[in-house]
Amino acid sequence: MRSDGPAVAPFLRSDNQARILAEILLTDREQTLSEIAHATLVPLPTVQREVDRLTQAGITRSRKQGRNRLVSTDATYPLISPLTQIIASSYGPTPIIHEAFAGLEGLEQLIIFGSWASRLSGVHGPFPGDIDVLLVGTDVSKLDAYRRAESARAHIGREVNPTVVSPERWASADDGFIQDVKSQPFVELEVTHDP
């Protein structure tokens, strides 16, 4: 079955390939295939095939440790720097936003919305100029949210615009802004808290 190229970066073969590349290239650690599959929501067999291709091309390194296969970026690949920059600008928001807002006190839901989420969902249009992030939680520090957004901006290379709302506002059916966010494609990321 033939599928269209990804709307975020149409020069890549598929969204799955791009998500896997983003997870590997933008994470400074080795990961198992299962960890990559979990983080990207890509089925494990697809992750295995894509990692095989990336390793054969020299973009990633792969090694066995017990029953696990560990994967990381191969920094010696001649085009690793521009490839990483392209992936960070197009598919980087998911892992970078997740990492930037991990441990934010009071955060209950972390959502990317707007044009970037639309492109990732397959809606074609111009390349997104910025990344809109909705932080749902109780007593979330706006100052801390803006600091983390600035850190994410430095990695992604585009503006990151955080909006903090309460869980009650997110649940409201009468709020025009919330209705607008919910009526368009959005990407909800896993919220992680420091131990």
pLDDT per residue as tens digits for the range 7-17: 555 567 788 88
- DSSP H or E stretch at residue 71: strand 68-73
Q: Could you give the percent of the chain with pLDDT greater than 70?
A: 93
**Token pair 């299962």: residue:** 34
What pLDDT, on the 0 to 100 scale, is given for residue 1? 40
Domain residue ranges in the chain: 15-91, 94-189
161 DSSP β-pair partners: 132
For residues 70 and 13, what is the distance between their CA atoms, to the nearest angstrom?
24
Mean of all residue pLDDT scores within the chain: 87
> Which CATH code of 3.40.50.1370, 3.40.50.620, 1.10.10.10, 3.40.50.720 fits the domain covering 15-91?
1.10.10.10
Q: Choose between 3 and 123: higher pLDDT.
A: 123
Question: What are the structure tokens assigned to 190, written together?
Answer: 């896993």
138-156: buried (b, 16+ CB within 10 Å) or exposed (e) per residue?
Answer: eebbeebbeebbeebbebb
For residues 62 and 9, what is the distance between their CA atoms, to the nearest angstrom?
26
First to last CA, the chain: 44
Examine the pLDDT at 2 and tell me if it is beyond 80.
Answer: no
Query: Which pLDDT band, with edges at 50, 70 and 90, does 44 fall under?
Result: very high
In words, the CATH class of domain 94-189 is alpha beta
Residues 130-166 pLDDT 10s: 899 999 999 999 999 999 999 988 887 789 999 999 9
What pLDDT, on the 0 to 100 scale, is given for residue 50? 93
**Token pair 């983390």: residue:** 148
Whether 15-91 shares its CATH topology with 94-189 is answered no
